[in-house]
């Protein structure tokens, strides 16, 4: 009918009558809007989509217990919001600080630009979640080593986000000095405050604030739908926690509607016990609720635009952090701060150990996070690399990226990144090779990029463009837990040897 109407308009023909399906959809929407108006719902809330779910969305919500705020991670049912997410939500990905806990992987790159899973980078996770959730206007805020991140985003996404009618973008916003603000980003809230003038130009009704160093798959439309349903000023993403892990996170306490009434940062002892909540309120079954009686903040939020403006400009003009200052302050001001439970796999990749474990877990038969999900794929840059070539090699429980060459070697339980070269007679076990940024022609007398003949690498991370000579052993034979040998090309953290980017390890070296 819409195509016919457009054709009639151009050809000066009689305007066609809408078919029954279009008329019914229009009638349903008008009746719901009228009902909401008679019940005293503010026009702003009606326009924002409060209670304006389609029959599909209403059926989905009807299946869950009353008060359920648990995310559906399957992307099986399309969520229809009014106004549409493409037009009304702006995604803001926070690139994080200097990434000292991930050093030396962050020595020459921003934390979201760290390679992941052979072919990807960390930033691909939140960006792909946004695209799969129809959020196609995305900014990434960073101030540390943003060159590679900017290059990756510009080459991977800008030509492929959105459509003709809903144009999208993925852009990096680096910290900058201005006549009104001579300081660099001081924290998450300060970073958003400094670019609030630009965000307001988007005419978005909500801001979706995300972190660039988390590993998870989530449909943000569920998140946004709950935010609109309860007319919240702020909605905080939360994950259920058991007592053993809870003390390492910022915890929240909720009432029987899921509204947040208290915060505690890494509590212990009696303070930890005081933060127990009934997680069945948020959708967990009774058995799992007993196992996980705490909820921890994921560090992702949905803000109503007006609430963000008021909080950052008027109430907390000097606050630097969302989690410890702005959001607890909003609760104290009487704003509606809601919890939204995400009951899927979520990992904060903030340390070398967490990064190492998350990558090697991808090699298992049933990993915690899988890139093999056709309903919600993870996107990245198209590099047009040749297929990997495996010559007389034994490869078990491993992931091999594009453009690799492995000759007469054994690779077990390892992630082999783009353009990796593994020469003959090597053994690679429990290792993450990040690969190389380019192919090079071998030069006689120099150590080539990759792993040299007869080398053994176990329980290690080898950053990009590293040159490992012949008969090198990277095995941490002495079981060293911590060591800073950056001048020699490596650092050991949590017993994991990390070879620095562009390092040269001479022939016969034993680490």
Q: How far apart are CA 419 and CA 437, in angstroms?
A: 7
For residue 456, what are the contacts with CB-CB under 8 A and spacing of at least 6?
426, 427, 472, 473, 474, 475
User: How confident is the model at residue 179, as a pLDDT?
Assistant: 72
Strands 250-254 and 214-216: unpaired
Q: How many Å is the maximal CA-CA distance in the chain?
A: 85
User: How confident is the model at residue 79, as a pLDDT?
Assistant: 62
Beta-carbon-side half-sphere exposure of residue 456 (alpha carbons within 13 Å): 8
Which residue is listed with tokens 């809007």?
33
For the chain, the C-alpha Rg in angstroms (whole number) is: 25
Beta-carbon-side half-sphere exposure of residue 458 (alpha carbons within 13 Å): 11
Give the Cβ contact number of residue 428 at 10 Å. Answer: 29
Q: How far apart are CA 1 and CA 277, in angstroms?
A: 51
Beta-carbon-side half-sphere exposure of residue 238 (alpha carbons within 13 Å): 34
The partner residues of 458 in beta bridges, in order of sequence, read 429
Give the Cβ contact number of residue 315 at 10 Å. Answer: 15
Q: How far apart are CA 468 and CA 503, in angstroms?
A: 8
- As separate numbers, helices (DSSP H) first and strands (DSSP E) second, the chain gives 16, 29
User: How confident is the model at residue 21, as a pLDDT?
Assistant: 42
With CA atoms as reference, report the closest residue to 327 among 360, 350, 302: 302
Q: How far apart are CA 117 and CA 432, in angstroms?
A: 9
Quick one: tokens of 186?
């001081």
Residue 510 DSSP label: B
User: How confident is the model at residue 78, as a pLDDT?
Assistant: 55
Global confidence as pTM: 0.82
User: How confident is the model at residue 159, as a pLDDT?
Assistant: 61
Quick one: tokens of 227?
């935010």
pLDDT digits (tens), the chain, 511 positions:
444 544 445 555 554 444 434 444 444 444 444 444 333 333 333 333 333 333 334 333 333 333 444 444 444 455 667 888 988 999 999 987 777 889 999 998 888 899 999 999 999 999 999 999 999 999 998 877 888 888 898 888 876 676 656 678 888 888 777 777 777 778 888 889 988 999 988 889 999 999 988 999 999 999 999 999 999 999 999 999 998 888 888 899 999 899 999 999 888 888 999 999 988 888 888 888 888 999 999 999 999 999 999 999 999 998 988 988 999 999 999 999 999 999 899 998 889 999 999 999 999 999 999 999 989 999 999 889 999 999 999 999 999 999 999 999 999 999 999 999 999 999 999 999 999 999 987 777 688 999 999 999 999 999 999 999 999 999 998 899 999 999 999 999 999 999 999 999 999 999 9
For residue 345, what are the contacts with CB-CB under 8 A and spacing of at least 6?
215, 216, 217, 368, 369
Give the Cβ contact number of residue 47 at 10 Å. Answer: 14
């Amino acid at each position: 009918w819409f195509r016919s109407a457009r054709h009639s308009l151009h050809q000066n023909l009689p305007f066609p009558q809408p078919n029954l399906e279009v008329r019914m959809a229009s009638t349903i929407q008008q009746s719901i809007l009228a009902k909401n108006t008679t019940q005293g719902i503010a026009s702003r809330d009606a326009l924002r989509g409060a209670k304006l779910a389609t029959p599909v969305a209403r059926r989905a919500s009807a299946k869950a217990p009353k008060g359920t705020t648990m995310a559906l991670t399957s992307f099986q049912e399309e969520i229809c919001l009014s106004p549409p997410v493409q037009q009304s939500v702006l995604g803001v990905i926070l690139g994080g600080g200097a990434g000292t806990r991930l050093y030396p992987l962050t020595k020459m790159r921003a934390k979201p630009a760290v390679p992941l899973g052979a072919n990807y980078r960390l930033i691909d996770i939140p960006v792909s979640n946004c695209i799969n959730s129809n959020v196609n206007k995305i900014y990434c805020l960073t101030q540390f080593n943003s060159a590679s991140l900017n290059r990756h985003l510009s080459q991977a996404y800008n030509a492929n986000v959105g459509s003709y009618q809903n144009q999208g973008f993925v852009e990096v916003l680096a910290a900058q000095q201005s006549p009104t603000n001579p300081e660099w980003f001081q924290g998450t809230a300060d970073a958003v405050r400094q670019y609030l003038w630009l965000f307001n130009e988007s005419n978005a009704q909500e801001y979706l604030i995300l972190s660039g160093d988390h590993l998870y798959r989530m449909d943000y439309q569920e998140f946004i739908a709950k935010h609109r349903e309860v007319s919240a000023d702020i909605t905080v993403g939360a994950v259920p926690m058991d007592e053993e892990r809870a003390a390492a996170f910022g915890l929240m306490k909720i009432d029987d509607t899921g509204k947040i009434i208290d915060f505690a940062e890494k509590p212990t002892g009696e303070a930890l016990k005081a933060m127990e909540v009934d997680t069945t309120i948020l959708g967990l079954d009774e058995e799992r609720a007993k196992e996980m009686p705490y909820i921890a903040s994921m560090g992702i939020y949905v803000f109503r635009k007006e609430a963000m403006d008021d909080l950052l400009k008027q109430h907390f003009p000097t606050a630097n952090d969302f989690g410890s200052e702005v959001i607890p302050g909003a609760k104290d001001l009487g704003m509606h701060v809601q919890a939204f439970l995400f009951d899927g796999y979520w990992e904060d990749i903030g340390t070398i150990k967490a990064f190492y474990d998350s990558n090697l877990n991808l090699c298992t038969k049933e990993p915690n996070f899988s890139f093999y999900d056709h309903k919600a794929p993870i996107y990245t840059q198209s590099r047009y690399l040749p297929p990997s070539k495996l010559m007389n090699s034994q490869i078990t429980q491993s992931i091999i990226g594009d453009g690799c060459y492995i000759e007469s070697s054994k690779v077990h339980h390892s992630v082999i990144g783009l353009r990796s070269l593994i020469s003959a007679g090597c053994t690679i076990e429990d290792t993450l090779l990040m690969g190389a940024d380019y192919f090079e022609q071998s030069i006689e007398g120099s150590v080539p990029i990759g792993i040299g003949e007869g080398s053994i690498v176990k329980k290690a991370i080898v950053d990009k463009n590293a040159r490992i000579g012949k008969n090198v052993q990277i095995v941490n034979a002495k079981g060293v837990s911590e060591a800073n040998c950056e001048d020699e090309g490596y650092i050991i953290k949590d017993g994991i040897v990390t070879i620095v980017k562009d390092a040269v390890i001479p022939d016969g070296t034993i680490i």
